[in-house]
Amino acid sequence: MIDLADALALVERTAAPLPPRRLQLAAAVGRLLSAGIIADGDSPPWDRAMMDGFAVRDADMAGGGIVELEVVTDLAAGDVTSLTLRPGSCARIMTGAPIPPGADAIVPVERAVDGTAGTHAGGRVRLHEKTFRPGQHVGRQGAAYRQGQEVLAAGMWLGAAEIALAAEAGATHVVADAPVRVAILQSGSELVPHDTMPAFGQTRNSNGPMLAAAVTLLGGEPIPLGVAADRPEAIRAAVAKGLAADVLLLSGGVSAGDLDLVPGILAACGVDEVFHKVRLKPGKPVWFGRLARPAGEAPTLVFGLPGNPVSSLVCFELFVRPALAILSGRPRQAWHLPRTTAVLTAPVKAAPDRPVYLPGRLRPMTAGAAGADSSRIDSRGAARLEIEPLPWTGSSDLRGMAGASGLIALPAAAGLVAAGTGVDVLVRDSGTSGGRE
């Protein structure tokens, strides 16, 4: 059993940023590019019609006034022709088609006069383009970029436009800061999927959805492995799968009961224990280790979280959160839940041997609250916060935790902490603190 501060330091020392990974283009949205993308062709790839109308020769249009031309072919987007325009001829053309050899410019269909706008191959069109510019409405080959040019640079964020550009430039895969892959496994013979009605003695697997949600909120990729019964071979098979991920989160089976098989199985799978049991309430049984991998590959980090949902969540927030943040390369100030101080509105019970985390609801301090009125404003002139401890029956009580906007962090101490006392509070994730900085 070790102290919380030592355990946190061990997690921080064991986790290291993951190298970038090659991702399918569609999976890379929202990621940061780690290697530039080189175009495999020009854009536009050929001289392209940018309007629906008629592909013409500049020379035929030079005189101004109404020009009558023979329409020799029809070109929809996707059509190509080897026919070369001779003087006095033009091609009916749609936006996106390559302009035919000999053509220099497009005259939009709206410039056709005398009801000739519908003219196709074999007919004659009369065009009146009052302000003709040589080369008008043609997207020139390579005007946007050239083959071999870098179109997206390392460090760029891949939004919708960047994904489209990569697709246009021929990138099927990109190298980017991949999301951390987190395998999630529950152990417990009493557990049933959350979408079923438990029989007497059975418990819905709430940790599975909870841990997947927590991973998603931090930008990771949850890989749910479901539930393994409390049988060594069942747990071992699922653990073997989970060890292929960057992180394996287990819940249940890490305390001291007869069927708490997880630590032994992890050891048998070659996972080195970093710590087991932390002076902490709730969450004492937590287990942490790492599986070394062949040189050059990042180790798999393994967390054995307690089965009780609230203990599991507290351990996730304290230990797993910084590990995921470090693996995904976040700066130090984004590793942990933000901390604040607040004044207790009601007494709470500390533990003499270990720090305690309790759910509470944060709010600006109200008039008439504990403490003198002047204490409602802190030294920087900001309104101080108060925190109301929520009714909570213990580490299986998700109801109290679900309404909490903060976790009251009490250092080890004997007895009650009185109302009006200033306490440390971890501010629960509202979906913004864990996201991209």
- Give residues in contact with ligand AMP (CB under 6 A): 186, 188, 190-191, 203, 205-208, 251-253, 255, 257, 306-309
The kind and range of the H/E element at 235 are helix 232-242
Name the nearest CA neighbour of 322 among 21, 23, 28, 5: 5
CB of 312 to ligand AMP, least distance (A): 7
Other C-beta atoms lying within 10 Å of the C-beta of residue 21: 18
Give the span between the Cα atoms of 156 and 34, in whole angstroms.
Answer: 8
- Site mask, Mg ion, residues 167-196, x = CB under 5 A? ---------------------x--------
Strands 339-344 and 181-187: unpaired
Burial class (CB in 10 A: 0-12, 13-18, 19+), 35: middle
- Both tokens assigned to 134: 């040589």
Q: Which does 186 bind (CB under 5 to 8 A by kind): ligand AMP, Mg ion, none?
A: ligand AMP
Residues 152 and 143: their CA atoms lie apart, in Å, by 16
Least distance (Å) from ligand AMP to the CB of residue 186?
Answer: 4
Q: Which is nearer to Mg ion, 81 or 311 (CB)?
A: 311
What is the contact mask toward Mg ion in residues 125 to 154, using x (rule: CB under 5 A)? ------------------------------
Residue closer to ligand AMP by CB (options 195, 437) is 195
Q: How far is the CB of 190 from ligand AMP (least distance, A)?
A: 5
CB of 46 to ligand AMP, least distance (A): 59
Q: Is 208 in the site for Mg ion (CB under 5 A)?
A: no
User: Cα separation of 254 and 311, whole Å?
Assistant: 12
Q: Are 298 and 17 in contact (CB under 8 A)?
A: no
Residues 17-76 that bind Mg ion (CB under 5 A): none
Nearer to ligand AMP (CB atom), residue 282 or residue 322: 282
Instruction: Quote the least distance from Cβ 181 to ligand AMP, whole Å.
Output: 20
Please, what is the minimum distance in Å from the beta carbon of residue 223 to ligand AMP? 16
- Strands 356-364, 221-228: pairing is unpaired
Q: How far is the CB of 271 from Mg ion (least distance, A)?
A: 19
The sign of the torsion formed by the CA atoms of 58, 60, 65, 71 equals: negative
Q: What is the dihedral of CA 100, 101, 106, 112, to 10 degrees?
A: -70
- Show the tokens assigned to 127: 């065009």
Quick note: the x/- pattern for Mg ion over 274-313, rule CB under 5 A, is ---------------------------------x------
Return the one option of ligand AMP, Mg ion, none that residue 406 interacts with (CB less than 5 to 8 A, by type): none
Nearer to ligand AMP, 49 or 310 (CB): 310
161: three-class secondary structure by DSSP: helix
Contact 341, 362 (CB under 8 A): no
Identify which of residues 163 and 286 has a Cβ nearer to Mg ion in the complex. 286
Cβ nearer to ligand AMP, comparing 312 with 345: 312
- Between 229 and 370, whose beta carbon lies closer to Mg ion? 229
53 vs 304, which CB is nearer to Mg ion? 304
Cβ closer to Mg ion: 266 or 390?
Answer: 266
Give the closest residue to 284 by CA, choosing from 324, 317, 315. Answer: 315
CB 275, min distance to ligand AMP, A: 17
Of 224, 51, 212, nearest in space to 139 by CA: 51
What does 44 bind: ligand AMP, Mg ion, none (CB cut-off 5 to 8 Å by kind)? none
**CA–CA dist 64, 128 (Å, integer):** 8
Q: Which CB sits closer to Mg ion, 147 or 189?
A: 189
Residue 243, Cα to own-chain centre: how many angstroms?
Answer: 21
Q: Which residue is nearest to ligand AMP (CB)?
A: 307
Which CB atom, from 116 or from 202, has the smaller least distance to ligand AMP? Answer: 202
Size of the site for Mg ion (CB under 5 A): 4
Are the CB atoms for 411 and 400 separated by under 8 Å?
no
Beta carbons of 406 and 428 less than 8 angstroms apart = yes
Least CB distance to ligand AMP at residue 378 (A): 40
User: Which of 98, 220, 252, 282 is close enough to bind Mg ion by CB under 5 A?
Assistant: 252
H-run or E-run covering 300: strand 300-305
- The full DSSP string for 342-370 is EEESS-EE--SSS-EEEEEEEEEPPTT-S
Nearest approach, Cβ of residue 287 and Mg ion (Å)? 13
Least distance to ligand AMP, CB of residue 307, Å: 2
Are the C-beta atoms of 235 and 195 separated by less than 8 Å? no
309 binds, among ligand AMP, Mg ion, none (CB under 5 to 8 A by kind): ligand AMP
Which parts of this chain interact with Mg ion (CB under 5 A)? 188, 252-253, 307
